[in-house]
Amino acid sequence: MPDLYTFGEAMALFLSEDTDSVIDAKLYRRSTAGAEGNVAVAVSRLGLHAHFYTHLGQDELGTAILDDFIAEGVDVSEVKRVPEFSGTMIRNPGTTRPVEATYLRKGAAATTISPADINLGMLHSSKWVHTTGITCAISTSATSAVEFALTKARKAKITCSLDLNIRRKLWSESQARVVLEPLAHDIDLLIGGEDEYLAIFGENDPKRALELVADRGCKIAIMTKGDQKIRYLINGEFGEVTPPKVKAVDPVGSGDAFTGGVIAGLLSGLSAIDAIKQGSVSGARVASQFGDWAGLPTGVKGRTDPAIIAQLTGGVQ
């Protein structure tokens, strides 16, 4: 029985190595990226069973992506290979200039995901169903799949989460609001950046934005803002968590690491606040290294190795 069921687009990531610009780079390192897959790997690294579903092309990149997940212990047994190409992202590391990503994903394999692809047997046997706004952005059929999965999870009383995750290169804020605002209700865990809460719910006061989401039936609402304080509302209680301070070398993927750490913590029985603290450790560790999966902490039964926590927090939790 999976602890986590999630689905979305997984991409081949080509990260420039010799310069901080794709324009003049000649050397690249390939890895795998994509929000939901990142969360699945984060949960798997912490010792839980994660099932990830996607569509990959019948190409060598698709095989490489699949092999990466298998090496991480993620269950990808139901991944479908389709005629469309595997999605790809090319970007610079962002050491001396802002991160700039080029996407090759319009019409890619994962855009063909639809409600018919959601395995209800697998979903109903899972403890947690995770979705993101990115899957909604890639196609209308994928949007329908997210809506379908969340509806089925709610009806079956399976814990579910939604990460707003607006990707502005894929759609506009107004388009995202039309799709995501109706989905963001009766969610056990809703996560988003401060700017994403504003874009989707039209509220720029953090506490009021979280209260608005709570009024929509979201039990745990979390608002992030890079390496700054994480705000939350849990059962009407507003609070903040200060994430560990690290030298951030690559923020890409740190948000997914945070989400994975929180989900794993809650699945392990941690309190919501302690799960948020665990997520902050995962996010900080990934931000301190290059690549979406590099730095993801390891652990047992959903809880981070105490030595890793001590390393980042100086023993203070």
Q: Is residue 49 part of a domain?
A: yes
Structure tokens at 68: 């990466």
Consecutive H or E run containing 231: strand 230-234
- CB-based contact 50:75 (threshold 8 Å): yes
Number of domains in the chain: 1
For the CA atoms of 138, 136, 111, 82, what is the dihedral angle to 10 degrees?
140
Q: Work out the average pLDDT over 85-102.
A: 93
pTM higher than the cut 0.85 = yes
Q: CB neighbours (10 Å) of residue 248?
A: 15
Q: Is residue 198 part of a domain?
A: yes
Q: Is the predicted pLDDT of residue 250 greater than 80, yes or no?
A: no
Q: Is residue 40 part of a domain?
A: yes
Q: Is residue 125 part of a domain?
A: yes
CA dist 1 and 184 (Å) reads 26
Q: Is residue 30 part of a domain?
A: no
Relative to beta strand 230-234, strand 237-241 is: antiparallel
Model pLDDT for residues 268-302, shown as the tens digit of each residue = 999 999 999 999 999 988 887 777 787 899 999 99
Q: Is residue 26 part of a domain?
A: no
Q: DSSP secondary structure string, 256-286?
A: HHHHHHHHHHHHHT--HHHHHHHHHHHHHHH
Domain that residue 142 falls in:
4-8+35-59+80-86+106-313
The CATH number linked to 274 is 3.40.1190.20
Relative to beta strand 128-132, strand 101-104 is: unpaired
pLDDT at residue number 314: 67
Q: Work out the average pLDDT over 196-205.
A: 95
Q: Is residue 101 part of a domain?
A: no
Rg of the chain on CA atoms, in Å:
18
